[in-house]
Structures are given as structure tokens and as C-alpha cells.
Amino acid sequence: MLAAPAYEDGTWQSADGLTLHYRDYAGRDDRPPILCLPGLTRNARDFEPIADTFAGEWRVICVELRGRGESEYAKDPGSYNPLQYAQDIDALFEQAGLKQVVAIGTSLGGIITMLMAGQDASRFAGVVLNDIGPVIEPDGLERIKDYVGQGRSYPTWMHAARAIKETNGVAFPDYDTQQWLDFTKRVMCLSGNGRITFDYDMHIADPFDDQPEGVDFDMWPLLKSLSGRPVLALRGELSDLLSAETLAKMEREVPDLEAVTVPRVGHAPTLAEPIAQQAIAKLLGKIA
């Protein structure tokens, strides 16, 4: 087995004074870096499959949003919202001297990407939207609300993996025990008291409770702002967050958007799947 590529730890500052963290895998400087933006409860470890495959040929930057991983937790839980996350990534662009990137956004990370594209799409040489689109299915959103911010902990990695399987088994029906352990070690960590716990601030769930009923923000114009550049939309075949109908409409509405369905997985593909990696490599081939 090949050794995992090395990375440097980087930090940047948010406008409200938080120190935020990213992994920086070295790559060629004649190509735009790949900027990986994770889902709601996830962190930089989520993109190890991308770094394993593409680092070296591409610089890969894997960010951790405020309140996740090694990024500082917010003093105001109300700042755990997509607009603030987009502002934080704006600050990363400025402080790290990023001119243009290939964005890979999983779930929430894809929403952040679309928000930023709505402001200035020229920052993106290409975009991968992983199991997210302008329409979020209510069933998937309710499932996320049910588990995020629960603060559970476990005595061993095996106990934690069994619990993760109970929550996510429908999305990954073919996983074996080792895959569940690997999955668990990406989303959880060893806490100071020796228990295995989720690697995020439980208060990231607070804004869900404050969201008024009936608010419906139209994200289609944001997606359409990506027209004219390579876009890959991945969907897990079993996804409850992105429907097949929305994926088909995305393909119709945005020129140069390629839609790829990843079989036998739900929300969200891990990006280690061969079909996902082949599709990402194809998109990168249009940019290199």
C-alpha cells in the first residue's frame, strides 16, 4: 500500500477573530489548486481519497469550517450558517493568495461553492458538486436534523462504528466492518476524557432550531452562474438529499455540467468510489 501523501497544516483568520485550519497538500504550481469544502459535520479527513489520488499533480487544500476539526469553535452559534462560511472562505482566498481554484464541495460545501459563485464565479476554474443541488429534499434534511448535534460518545472505536452504521447504513449498504471503522475515524475523534466523540461543535445544530418555517431560498440562479466552466454534479444513487429529478434538471439548466450517478451509495459519496474518481479526473483533464 502506498503511503499517504504528506501535507502541511495551514491556518487563516475569520473576520470575527477565529483561527481556522486547513490541510495543504503540495502540487504543481502551474495549475489551480483543488479546494475541498466539507459537509455539515465533516472535516479535512473527508477528502483523504482526493488527496491520495490527485495530490502531487495538483495542490489540494482541504478546509475545516468553523467549529469542525482543528478550526476554532464559534463564540456565537448563530454564525454557523452558509453565508458566514462563504465569508470565511472569502477570507481564505485573500490570506492564502488564491486567485482561482477547482472547488470540490460535498453537501454543505457545495452550497458554499454556489453562494460564492453567485458573487464571483471567475474564482472557479471548475466545480464538483457532491450530492447537492439547488433543491434539497425534505426527507434528507429531516434525517440530518435528527442526528446532528446530539453529542453522543462511545468507549471504543468499534462501539462508535456500530453507532455510525446504525445512522448511515442505508447510505452504504455494502460496507464491511473495516470500512465502517475507516468512516468513523474520519468523522469522530478521541476526546480528552478518552471517549470517542464527534469532531465538531454540537452548537452547529443551533441554527436549525432558529430557522423560520417557510423560508425557501432559490439557489438555481447561483448554480447557473457556473455556466461556461466545467461542472461535475455527483449524486449517490440512494441519496435522500439530491433527487434524480433535480440532477436531471441541473444538467438541462447548466451548459457544460456533467451529471454522474454513483451506484449503491447514498448521501454522500465518499469520493473514493472508482466512478467518482474517474469523473473528477475527467473534469480535471479539461482544466490542466
* pLDDT for residue 215: 42
Cβ–Cβ under 8 Å, residues 258 and 128: no
Percentage of residues in the chain having pLDDT higher than 70? 97
The neighbour count for residue 80, using CB atoms within 10 Å, is 24
Q: Is residue 181 part of a domain?
A: no
Query: How many whole angstroms separate alpha carbon 264 and alpha carbon 287?
Result: 29
The neighbour count for residue 43, using CB atoms within 10 Å, is 25
Closest by Cα among 94, 86, 103, 116 to 50: 103
Q: Is residue 146 part of a domain?
A: no
What residues in the chain have per-residue pLDDT under 70? 1-2, 209-216
Non-local CB neighbours of 33 within 8 Å, separated by 6+ positions: 27, 58, 59, 60, 61, 98, 101, 102
* pLDDT for residue 150: 83
Task: CATH number of the domain at 29, please.
Answer: 3.40.50.1820
CA angle at residue 165 from 161 to 167, to 5 degrees? 120
The β-bridge partners of 11 are 21
* pLDDT for residue 13: 98
The β-bridge partners of 64 are 21
Q: Is residue 174 part of a domain?
A: no
Q: Is residue 37 part of a domain?
A: yes
Closest by Cα among 270, 286, 240 to 127: 286
Cell of 82: 452558509
Q: Is residue 87 part of a domain?
A: yes
Query: How many whole angstroms separate alpha carbon 288 and alpha carbon 88?
Result: 27
Residue ranges making up the domain that contains 236: 8-141+214-285
Query: How many whole angstroms separate alpha carbon 162 and alpha carbon 164?
Result: 5
Q: Is residue 157 part of a domain?
A: no
Sheet holding 8-13, edge to edge: 8-13, 19-25, 60-64, 34-37, 101-106, 124-130, 231-236, 257-262
Query: How many whole angstroms separate alpha carbon 226 and alpha carbon 115?
Result: 11
Q: Is residue 191 part of a domain?
A: no
Q: Count of domains in the chain?
A: 1
The β-bridge partners of 281 are none
| pLDDT tens string 196-230 | 999 999 999 988 765 544 345 799 999 999 999 99
* pLDDT for residue 216: 58
Q: Is residue 53 part of a domain?
A: yes
